[in-house]
């Protein structure tokens, strides 16, 4: 139960940190922030400092950064009995406070903001950086956590752990202890993929599993440790293993972590950790598009929390530090993926908003406000539909075992 609570809070912290990126750069450029909230749903605590309301909300998932916009004062087309002239309910399901627009500013909940604090009136490059800050802060969070893990555990070298006799790897002279440096599917003319960690081997083999399953050739470049780290290569064609019912090359690689020798190595492999997770996100999208992965591979917040809970709970048997490092590893993956997904140029995502600002910067003309709003609304509806599908898929995968 404790690990479940920690996992929920960790996922919420990742999203809240994303919003903190928007918040911090918005304030740097003088954009008025009406509210910065951690969590969603009804407020359970709040305070106002520096004209911004800081609040903690009941549902520990995510958060938001509500920036100043004159749209807050648009009249309600159906004001109802009270006829306040302002919208009756906001996007959080709460009653909107009276919003008053004066000649010089906007009064919201009794707090005065000058009109030049509106997000929309800021230069395009400032708005671009405010929006970009959310995904960037996800990568910063991932890098900081990677620094902790790399400094404590080191990194997973791409070392051959075991070679099975009678299979192509052994026949080519590859031995346990050799270090894989690059892999290419195809003959020697194929462009090799640089290998720096054991995870690179795992990712490459997963992406090209269809080729390997059809006995496609793989060229492996490696250092022969028994021969003074001599650079070698081997052309390997998988053979069918009757016992396991699949094609195999006949080697396994070590995921054991080795300590980094210098601060430079710690910095490099911490950065590489974030880069690897970014690449994994790209390959995952590509595999979904090409049909190499299906809906069962999609993971929403329910399965994320369940996976984190299971992993942390399992690692806890090895001690507090092991559980913490496992949690951090999963947070790196999720934070990097969230940063990547938000950079996609899709309506309602940060990437979609960045695209509109880029168009403005190139053409020196803003996209019509109504058109942009309509596109984002359609994107939001599609995004909500996708979220509902992913949530339903999570429930099916977790509880019905499909």
The number of folded domains in the chain is 1
Confidence of residue 80 (pLDDT cuts 50, 70, 90): very low
What mean pLDDT do residues 125-154 have? 94
pLDDT at residue number 77: 41
231: in domain:
yes
pLDDT tens per residue, range 29-46:
999 999 999 888 899 999
pLDDT of residue 398: 62
Residue 188 lies in a domain: yes
Instruction: Write down the pLDDT at residue 82.
Output: 38
Report which listed range, 80-84, 259-263, 316-320, 393-397, is most confident: 259-263
Contact 394, 301 (CB under 8 A): yes
The answer as to whether 200 is a domain residue is: yes
Determine the pLDDT at residue 43: 93
Strands (E), 78-208: 99-101, 105-108, 111-114, 155-156, 160-163, 179-185, 193-194
- Residue 2 pLDDT grade (very low, low, confident, very high; cuts 50, 70, 90): low
pLDDT of residue 87: 40
- Compute the mean pLDDT over every residue in the chain, rounded to the nearest whole number: 82
Which whole-number Å values give the CA distances from 10 to 309, 313, 330, 399, in the listed order?
10, 14, 10, 23
pLDDT of residue 290: 72
Tell me what pLDDT residue 221 has: 92
Please state, in angstroms and as integers, the Cα–Cα distance from residue 104 to each residue in 32, 66, 126, 213, 365, following that order: 14, 20, 22, 68, 25
Confidence of residue 79 (pLDDT cuts 50, 70, 90): very low
The residue among 273, 286, 262, 282 whose CA lies nearest residue 196 is: 273
Answer whether residue 351 is part of any domain: no
pLDDT in tens, 103-138: 888 888 889 999 899 999 999 999 999 999 999 999
Contact 158, 255 (CB under 8 A): no
pLDDT higher for 303 or 160? Answer: 160
Segment 341-375, tens digit of pLDDT: 899 888 878 999 999 999 999 998 988 888 888 88
- pLDDT band, very low/low/confident/very high, at 303 (cuts 50, 70, 90): low
Q: What is the pLDDT of residue 92?
A: 44
Contact predicate 36/20, CB 8 Å: yes
In a domain, 195, yes or no: yes
What average pLDDT score do residues 280-289 get?
A: 78
Q: What is the pLDDT of residue 293?
A: 64
Q: What is the pLDDT of residue 71?
A: 66
Give the range of the structural domain holding residue 200, as residue numbers without chain letter.
155-258
Mean pLDDT calculated for residue range 160-173? 91
Q: Are 125 and 361 in contact (CB under 8 A)?
A: yes
Q: Is the CB of residue 257 less than 8 Å from the CB of residue 146? A: no
**pLDDT tens profile 210-261:** 777 776 788 899 999 888 889 998 888 888 888 888 888 889 887 778 888 8
Assess whether pLDDT exceeds 80 at residue 166: yes
Give domain status of residue 178, yes or no. Answer: yes
Structure tokens, 390: 């992913």
What is the helix (H) or strand (E) element at residue 385, kind and residue range?
helix 369-395
Mean pLDDT of the 168-194 span: 86
CA 67 to chain centre: 23
Does residue 394 belong to any structural domain of this protein? no
pLDDT in tens, 305-352: 666 666 667 766 777 888 888 888 888 988 998 898 899 888 878 999
Q: How far is CA 372 from each of CA 14, 59, 343, 356, rounded to the nearest angstrom?
A: 28, 30, 18, 8
In a domain, 220, yes or no: yes
User: Do the Cβ atoms of 87 and 76 come closer than 8 Å?
Assistant: yes
CATH number reported for the structural domain that contains residue 233 in this entry:
2.30.42.10
Q: Alpha-carbon distance 183 to 267, whole Å? A: 25
Higher pLDDT, 74 or 207: 207
């Amino acid at each position: 139960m404790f690990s479940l609570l920690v996992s929920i809070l960790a996922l919420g912290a990742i999203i809240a940190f994303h919003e903190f990126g928007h918040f911090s750069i918005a304030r740097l450029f003088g954009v008025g922030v009406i509210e910065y909230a951690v969590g969603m749903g009804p407020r359970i605590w709040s305070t106002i400092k520096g004209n911004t309301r800081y609040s903690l909300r009941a549902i520990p998932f995510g958060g938001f950064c509500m920036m100043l916009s004159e749209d807050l004062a648009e009249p309600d087309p159906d004001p109802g009995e009270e006829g306040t002239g302002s919208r009756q309910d906001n996007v959080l399901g709460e009653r909107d406070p009276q919003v008053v627009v004066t000649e010089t500013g906007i009064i919201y909940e009794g707090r005065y903001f000058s009109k030049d604090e509106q997000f929309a009136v800021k230069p395009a490059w400032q708005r671009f950086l405010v929006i970009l800050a959310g995904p960037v802060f996800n990568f910063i969070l991932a890098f900081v956590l990677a620094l902790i893990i790399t400094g404590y555990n080191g990194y997973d070298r791409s070392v051959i752990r075991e070679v099975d006799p009678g299979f192509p790897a052994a026949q080519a002279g590859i031995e346990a202890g050799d270090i894989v440096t690059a892999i290419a599917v195809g003959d020697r003319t194929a462009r090799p993929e640089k290998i720096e960690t054991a995870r690179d081997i795992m990712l490459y083999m997963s992406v090209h599993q269809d080729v390997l399953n059809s006995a496609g050739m793989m060229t492996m470049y490696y250092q022969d440790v028994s021969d003074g780290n001599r650079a070698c290569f081997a052309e390997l064609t998988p053979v069918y293993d009757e016992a396991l019912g699949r094609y195999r090359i006949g080697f396994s690689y070590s995921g054991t972590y080795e300590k980094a020798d210098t601060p430079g190595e710690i910095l490099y492999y911490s950065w590489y950790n974030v880069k690897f997770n970014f690449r994994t996100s790209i390959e995952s999208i590509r595999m979904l598009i090409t049909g190499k992965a299906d809906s069962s591979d999609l993971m929403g917040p329910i399965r994320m929390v369940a996976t984190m809970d299971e992993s942390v709970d399992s690692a806890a048997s090895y001690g507090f530090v092991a559980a913490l490092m496992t949690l951090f590893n999963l947070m790196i993956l999720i934070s990097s993926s969230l940063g990547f997904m938000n950079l996609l140029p899709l309506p309602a995502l940060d990437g979609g908003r960045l695209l509109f600002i880029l168009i403005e910067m190139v053409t020196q003309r803003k996209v019509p406000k109504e058109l942009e709003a309509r596109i984002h609304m359609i994107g939001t509806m599609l995004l909500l539909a996708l979220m509902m599908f992913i949530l339903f898929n999570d429930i099916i995968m977790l509880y019905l075992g499909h």
